[in-house]
Homo-oligomer: A and B are copies of this chain.
């Protein structure tokens, strides 16, 4: 299949590109900077002409391009709205015109405070931050186009991704880099907030399965089962690279813990994680 990956030069995008090439697809990238390792368009999601040119003749689009950095979205909500909402609306129109399939990268952070756990896809959404607000709006536009206009599309609500090529401001990078230099590691809050860190190769696998599936008009959680607290992560890093653990004030707007179930993705896509947290963390510590 001819597949376009938006955000192809980013952390998740690069892994998805690689996975799709390995699976035998004809893959093109789309990003504001060139994509290593594949044919790519350099363009802007908010430019309808750029998007149309890139989508025109493909069979499927993995739409990952976004302001995916929560801190950048918080600092510039206007930019987050332009890229994550208008950009997605542009992609939806182009995919409809091309008669292609759309797989949208959403996030587990759309849920907000849990009303029950584990959280399934029917749980209410109460996003509370420019990042998850604009990502949910993009998802809602995709699903509305499925219902109202026959779009062939699906949304993956991804767990917090980690793995090789991680952003420099991710908690993994910060902890590991500081510990390697024997600088103290600061935990914001009491470190009890848990995350179901999901390995980026498992996420790439979900995209490959979702592109090949014909399930449409729904959102699926794509989140690894085991919950790891920030404190536990820090302790494991310190086990390998001994340094001091410091506790600082909690960060405003930090997303609370919530146990998310990916049972539906297992049923619909046959998706299961294959990289354990121990294995994924060891890989980063060994880098």
| Residues from chain B with Cβ under 8 Å of A125 in the complex | 124-126
Known: A81-B89, A90-B78, A124-B124. A137 touches B133 (CB 8 A): yes
| Residues from chain B with Cβ under 8 Å of A92 in the complex | 77
Q: How distant is A94 from chain B, measured CB to nearest CB, in Å?
A: 10
CA distance A287 to B145 in the complex (A): 39
Chain B residue nearest to A129 (CB atoms) is: B144
CA distance A19 to B88 in the complex (A): 38
Question: How many copies are assembled?
Answer: 2
Contact B81 A85 (CB under 8 A): yes
| Residues from chain B with Cβ under 8 Å of A81 in the complex | 81, 85-86, 88-89, 137, 141
Residues of A120-134 whose CB lies within 8 A of B: 124-130, 133-134
Contact A78 B89 (CB under 8 A): yes
Contact B74 A93 (CB under 8 A): no
Considering only CB atoms and an 8 Å cut-off, how many residues of chain A contact the other chain? 34
| Residues from chain B with Cβ under 8 Å of A86 in the complex | 78, 81-82, 85-86
Chain B residue nearest to A91 (CB atoms) is: B78
Residues of A67-90 whose CB lies within 8 A of B: 74, 77-78, 80-82, 85-86, 88-90
| Residues from chain B with Cβ under 8 Å of A82 in the complex | 82, 86
| Residues from chain B with Cβ under 8 Å of A148 in the complex | 74, 129, 252-253
Residue A282 at the chain B interface, CB threshold 8 Å: no
CA distance A81 to B144 in the complex (A): 13
Q: How distant is A199 from chain B, measured CB to nearest CB, in Å?
A: 30
